[in-house]
Amino acid sequence: MKKLFLTLVVAFATLCGFAQEIANTYWRNEVTGDWFIGIADKYIIYDCRFWEIENIGQKKDRYTLTATCDDERLDIAIGNLKNGTRTITVGNSKAVKCSPITTATLPDYPVKDTRVGFKDNGYALGDSVTIVGWLKDMPAEAWQRGGNEFEVFVHNIIARNLDDESFYDKMDSLGRFTIKMPLMNTSQVYMDWKRTTKVSVLEPGETYFFLHDFGTGQKLFMGSDVRLQNELLAYPASSMYERMEYEYATQEQAMEFLHHVKECGRRHNAELQKRVEEHPMLSRRYIDYLAGYILVGMGESLMQGMYSVAGDKLPAEYIAFADSLWNSMIAPLSTDGFSTLSSPKSLYSDYPLFLTDYMYYKVQNMPEQEGSVAKTLQRLAAEGAISLDEKETDAVKRYDSELEKMKAQLATLDDDAEIEKLISEFNNSEIAYIINDVWNSNADAIIREFAVKIPQRAINRLPNNKEIYDIYMAGIIWNEINNRRIPLPADVIEWAEENISTPAAINTVVEMQNRYLALQRRALSGSESLKTNDEVKNMSDGEKILRKLIEPYKGKFVLVDVWGTWCGPCKRALSHSKELYERMAPYDMVFLYLANRSDEGAWKNVIKEYNVTGENVVHYNLPGEQQSAVENFLRVSGYPTYRLIDRNGNLLDVNADPRDLNVFENLIKMIE
């Protein structure tokens, strides 16, 4: 009994010593500077894995531990503390001299890493990355704020920020998780955005361990090549998000913005140079990454500024500087004192938007307005590819000048309501509906021009770069399918397969095409929700048309949703329809959808895609003039627009936006 008691006392003393000296400590390899091992109360973090501690032995301040993971055994010997370091031996490996990590992030590495470049797999198919992690000792507030899932968010460079991807793993009760996610190429990612908000870079084929210890405040990366990731934790990139403050800027104001962006770039570059001087062991890859980050951020900011310039025409010096930034991403150059980087383009989340806006400007400013809608339709008509009647021919001739006239008027307005009204009037004008009808009735021929021929001519005028060519052309075609929500003509996809060789780029296009081919063939369940226009045939008054449509639903709330298949925010809202229907079930509500300028096939596909059907769901795709009349009555100035009609048929002057379900439900309760 006495022997057992002494054994328990020794064991308890060992645990106490372990808890005080070693538990909840993290150790770095003194030679390499990497995070080597982590020791918690019950677990070892080693080789990007969790090992459960089975036994602990102690002799003075030396420790021996045995831990297991998936039937593997790990023996660890921790030497005594000497001059602030311990030797740690794992299994039969050579002893490693380690020091405790006492800072919030890994200290500067002890040796210089002069490697250049980042892993570039050519956007191959099938690559992935694994993140094992632990949000350790997370307080209740952090659990509540971010939920029980760890999220990794990455921009899809082919889809250009339109199909961004988030990957999740449910954490266990201790905050541990493992995510294995596909990765097109080395990419900038956003981790645990709702909670820890960390931006990093992941390379395909790698396994990373990410630790955020809320108790100590430490954030660390473990892995075979994690120097860049740890340096980005210690010295994160400053935001390069700059936006023009003017609604419709003059040429002089555009030049002011150019000088502002240049100055921001110089300031960020000077900060980088100062950081390198203060921390001379920062790796070459870190320096190159930050320099490229500055460059891309400048380009993205400048090209977003285009949309605030009256007439969308940029000053020559403005676009020349944007050209220099673009060229720097094609081949390593020296531009205005900024270091540059060429590949891969997925390194920066701002690059897809820079690419989209820059090429949009180039298309819109091609010689002889090759990229304009009116010039393209006129050329196609002259070639016999499309046919136009007299009314359509006149509308096509006048379209560009009417558009420029509208833009010039916008430049004179300061009031947002007046701006929205003018845009709405133009979008619902007779000429806009005629052009829309021409487009829908000649879609295949027009799509060949705008999805292939015009973008191809624009990018062929720029310095040759196959990676950018493939990413850009695949993105244009993907976006056409995404906007139309119907498959493209087979010859467009055949062209893509013959001319786009980057695996992930062509695969993204083919997958999108096949997705909508399958959707198009699928029968529409709940087809009774789709109504014909017979009951309002020959009617032209917007109020009377609407009254006729809601007539069967007297005694019910009616939520009117004015949307279009071409409208991204509209489709995002429709994707949450089932949640809306379930929440509003107690209130006896009818959902009336009015589609604006929407192709019949695309209209049905979107309804099928998001299952926007049900006993209390009604869809109309009215002729253009009737839709315009109803929208004028409802004072529609943007899409989607929501209007609420009460049980007595009264159109209410309230903000009835169901995208915030809590606010919307409270509104209905208040009215009830």
Based on the fold, state whether residues 481 and 387 are members of the same structural domain.
yes
Based on the fold, state whether residues 388 and 417 are members of the same structural domain.
yes
* 116 part of a folded domain: no
* 120 part of a folded domain: no
Based on the fold, state whether residues 581 and 606 are members of the same structural domain.
yes
Based on the fold, state whether residues 316 and 453 are members of the same structural domain.
no
Pair 469, 459: CB distance under 8 Å:
yes
DSSP secondary structure, 309-348, as one string: BGGGPPPHHHHHHHHHHHHHTTS---BTTB----S-GGG-
* 123 part of a folded domain: no
| pLDDT number for residue 413 | 78
3-state percent breakdown (helix, strand, coil) of the chain, nearest 5: 45, 20, 35
Domain that holds residue 267: 251-366
Q: Give the rounded percent of residues in the chain with a pLDDT score beyond 90.
A: 72
Based on the fold, state whether residues 95 and 135 are members of the same structural domain.
no
Question: How many structural domains are present in the chain?
Answer: 5
* 118 part of a folded domain: no
C-alpha distances out from residue 534 to 202, 548, 622, Å: 57, 11, 10
Q: Mean pLDDT over residues 171-188, rounded?
A: 96
| pLDDT number for residue 161 | 60
Pair 186, 203: CB distance under 8 Å:
yes
Read off the amino acid at residue 326: W
* 106 part of a folded domain: no
Given pLDDT bands bounded at 50, 70 and 90, which one contains residue 19? low
Based on the fold, state whether residues 552 and 433 are members of the same structural domain.
no
Based on the fold, state whether residues 660 and 544 are members of the same structural domain.
yes
* 571 part of a folded domain: yes
**Coil vs helix vs strand at 514:** helix
What pTM was computed for the model?
A: 0.87
pLDDT in tens, 600-620: 999 999 999 999 999 999 999
d(CA 376, CA 385): 11
CATH number at residue 218: 2.60.40
CATH number at residue 607: 3.40.30.10
Q: Which of 301, 335, 366 is the last residue of a domain?
A: 366
pLDDT in tens, 116-133: 989 999 999 999 999 999
* 243 part of a folded domain: no
Based on the fold, state whether residues 323 and 391 are members of the same structural domain.
no
Based on the fold, state whether residues 561 and 616 are members of the same structural domain.
yes
Say whether pLDDT at 560 is over 60: yes
Say whether pLDDT at 148 is over 90: yes
**For the chain, what is the mean pLDDT?**
90
pLDDT in tens, 591-605: 999 999 898 999 999
Q: Which of 521, 543, 567 is the last residue of a domain?
A: 521
Based on the fold, state whether residues 386 and 500 are members of the same structural domain.
yes
Q: Which of 366, 391, 422 is the last residue of a domain?
A: 366
Based on the fold, state whether residues 571 and 658 are members of the same structural domain.
yes
Pair 392, 381: CB distance under 8 Å:
no
* 239 part of a folded domain: no
Based on the fold, state whether residues 271 and 215 are members of the same structural domain.
no
Strand partners, 15: none
Strand partners, 86: 98
DSSP secondary structure, 8-46, as one string: HHHHHHHHHHHHHHTTTEEEEETTT-SEEEEE-SSEEEE
